[in-house]
Structures are given as structure tokens and as C-alpha cells.
Structure 1
Amino acid sequence: MARVRVRQHVNPLSAKYSQPIILPKWYTVYSSPDQPLHLDIGCGRGKFLLNMAPLYPKMNFLGIEIREPLVIEANQQCDRLQLPNVSFLFCNINLYIDTILTSLPPNILNCVTIQFPDPWFKRSHQKRRVVQPDLVQAIATHLVENGSVFLQSDVKEVAEEMVDNFLVNSSFQQQHQETWFPENPFPIATEREVATLNKNQPVYRVLLQKINP
């Protein structure tokens, strides 16, 4: 399959990404829709989830991506591999995360990952960053007790901001004493993580847990 070429950066605040979301009927997406769910926000081409899904057949995986061509490509790969527990959805997650999570069976959101989100370095663009207070609150509302949130970035400032936005919400606590979690807790690394480590550059990781506030 030819690799789709898409823009690396898209402005989530533009009208193009405010269009109404079309939600699937989850029983047509997953063979067992009531299984625990791992949500990957900003999944890119979906390779992380496409590799995770066969390893954890008793868990469902949902990737969210704002670049529609990548979602189409990832779902085609999913169909080709005949994976019944993973799917990909095109949307602006900051507008529709609560809509998505409310539409799912209750009490299934077990894990959320946000890995190497667009850093939007310019100060005037930082409002475009994915981890905003409303996103954190939606995750806090729907994540099961003791559920986990894993964050990582190769930009320290972005990692620190993500952590601050989660920890200001009383539903979350850090699961480790070190400032940064020493290694990826998952057996699969994203393409960006592999590329960063191959250049001997640091990755800033944090593992959070939902608690009763």
C-alpha cells in the first residue's frame, strides 16, 4: 500500500476541523464492544495501535486523528489485517471527546495515551495544543478508577505543560516519584519515539492514574 503524503501540521482551530462528527455504531466496529478501551489521541498513521491490538485481544483500541487521510489509511490497514479490536476515527478531539466517550459503552475507558503531540512552538499558536483543560476533564469523567494516562514528548516544555494540565485536575496523580518515567510501559514504540531515541535524544514520559478526588 502506498504511503499517504499529508501535511504535518493542521490548524485545529480552523473551520475545516469544526465539522460535525459522524460516529459509528460501535457494535459494528468491535467484535466485543464492551471490552476495556485504550484511547490513543493523535494516533497519526496508527501503527502503534495496529501493533498493540494483536497483542491484547481482550482490549479494544481507538485511535483519534485530525488528518483524515491518515485515518482512512489506518482503517484500510486494520481491514487488511482483519483486526476486530481496533478502529480509527477522524475528528478534532478537543471539540468532540465528550461526544465520543459518551457514545461508548459505560465504564470501559481504561487507558489514554497522548504521544508526541504537535508542539506548536509559537506562543500565539499554543492554544492549538491538544492537552487543554476541557480535554483533561472529559478524560477524568469517563476514565475508570485507577485507569491510566500515559504522556510522552520529545519537547520538554510540551511534556511539562501536559503534565501540569492533568495534575491541576484533582482526579489525577503521578504514578512515579521521578520527574520523568524512565521507559515506555508498552511493548510497542511509536515511530516518533524510535526516531528520537535513534538520534540519542531524550523522551519525556509521565504515567498518571485516575483517583477519587
Structure 2
Amino acid sequence: MFREKFILQGVIMRRRRRKDADKKLLSYKDYIINGMVEQVFIESKDEDQYLNPFDNRIFIKDEVYKNIIENYRGKWSQVFENDNPIHIEVGTGRGKFITSLAKLNPDINYIALEIKEEVLLRAVEKADKLKLDNILFLWGGVELFDLYFEDKELDRVYINFCDPWPKKRNAKRRLTSSLFIDLYDKKLNNGQIHFKTDNRDLFEFSLNEFSSKDLRLSNISLDLAKSDFEGNVTTEYEDKFMGLGMPIYRLEAEFRK
């Protein structure tokens, strides 16, 4: 299998895009494995289709599913060509956090999941400039999580400054809701979730959700800049918020063996 620094093209949602951002992203030909994954919206609930677990109107075409199973799911050690631990960031944004970690930890494999091609392009450019060879970019949304990864294949999940979905009716969409915690539990090999946010309500919600699932909580901070936590790697958002004097909330949650 081709092994260079690359992007995996995942789900492409129907939304406005910056002109030519996707073309610029895909122009990094030496970095790309094109998963050719496209979500198709349907009203059918045919059990024979591969439905997105978070939306029963969505299925993945058979040939695409076959490609994922044959080349990625359960095979990430082959893709990376080593058996190093695999850490994934859900919603990597412009990539400062994940590329910094990849540079600091060459013996860990990193996967950056991001749906917005405009910001993903910035992240890929950072990795390219740093000449990183232990990071991959998966272009798509969190719904790819269940498709691309075998159970117990991952070791850590990073969630940084995700959408708080403040309305109560949207609580299940929060990346720290019990729905997603169950998904992480399936994919993590007794691993950890590292979570940061600037939103106190989301942080309190997340504490309750993690506790309800009996995860072991540690390194809880209500103002990260004033805490004694060492080795913090910041995101672009975090730099901005800290510069404004805003508190950053952080925790680590570990699944019990």
C-alpha cells in the first residue's frame, strides 16, 4: 500500500465551500488516498444498505464500503507501517494542536478528522511544512468514526472546542454525549478521551455524561492557564481565548478495564 503523508477523502457534506478549496486540498497528490466516500441522502430504511448510525436517511455506496473495509478498517497499523499507538482528534480545525503533537511524539500515530476543507487545507500545509510522517488526515465528519475504525483499534481521542449545541433538543449531537461516549468505548482499546472547551455549560454536561458512564476522570481544570497542568499543547482557538483572558476547561476521561 502506498505509504506517504496523505489525506483520506471522507464524507463530503452538502454546504457552501470556499471557492476551489477542495481542489487545492486534493492537489496534494503525494498526500492523498482518495476514499471516494460520499453521503447519499435517502428516505428508505433498507436493512441491506450501510446506514449512517447517526442518521437513518444516509447510506454509503457498496463499492465505497468495500474500499473502506479492505483498506482501512482494522488495518491502520498496515497503513502507518508500524504498530505504534493511534491517537485521533475529532474536528482538527487548522491543525496546530495535532501537528504539534505529531512533531513532539514521533512514536505515536495521529489521525486528524475534519469535514471543512478550507481549514483542513491549512492543517495539511502545516504537516507538509514540518515534514511529518506519523500523521494522516481523514476528510469527513464524525460519522466516519464507526466506518473507518475497527473496535479497539484506537488508543486516545482528542476533542477540542467542539460545537456546544446549546439547545437541549440537540444534546445528543454533542461530541461528549452518551451516544458518542459509547462509540468511543467501542473503538478505544481501554483508552482515554482528552477534552477541552471554553464553554462552561458544555463542560458541566460532559462531566455528567462521563460520570454516568463510569469513566475515571483526572486532570480536571476549570481554568487551564492558572492550573499546574504541564505539557499543554494549544489549539488556534485556545490561543485566542486565553489571550482574551477566558478560562479553558479541560479533563481526561479513561475507560475502566
TM-score (norm 1): 0.75
* Structure 1: runs of 5+ lacking an equivalent: 7-13
Q: How does 1:59-138 map to 2 (within 5 A)?
A: 59-93=108-142, 95-102=143-150, 107-138=152-183
Cα distance between partner residues in 2 of 1:72 and 1:177: 32
Partner of 1:173: 216
Q: How does 1:1-213 map to 2 (within 5 A)?
A: 20=60, 23=68, 25=72, 26=76, 29-32=79-82, 34-93=83-142, 95-102=143-150, 107-145=152-190, 147-170=191-214, 172-176=215-219, 182=227, 186-212=231-257
Deviations 1:93-140 (A, max 9, x none): 1x23222221xxx75522211111112334455444333323211211
Which letter does structure 1 place at the counterpart of 2:235?
A: T
Structure holding more strand per residue: 2
Query: Aligned to 2:158, what secondary structure does the other structure show?
Result: strand
Is the Cα contact below 8 Å between 1:151 and 1:205 reproduced in 2? yes
* Structure 2: runs of 5+ lacking an equivalent: 1-16, 20-39, 42-54
Is the Cα contact below 8 Å between 2:219 and 2:229 reproduced in 1? no
CA-based RMSD of the aligned residues comes to 3.2
Q: Which has the higher contact order (CA 8 A, sep 6+)?
A: 1
Is the Cα contact below 8 Å between 2:102 and 2:110 reproduced in 1? yes
Larger radius of gyration: 2
User: Relative to structure 1, is the Cα distance of residues 186 and 137 closer, same or farther in structure 2, using a 3 angstrom cutoff?
Assistant: farther
Number of aligned residue pairs: 195
TM-score (norm 2): 0.64
Cα distance between partner residues in 2 of 1:60 and 1:89: 13
Partner of 1:9: none
- Deviation of the 1:164 alpha carbon: 2.0
Determine what percentage of the aligned residue pairs are the same residue: 25
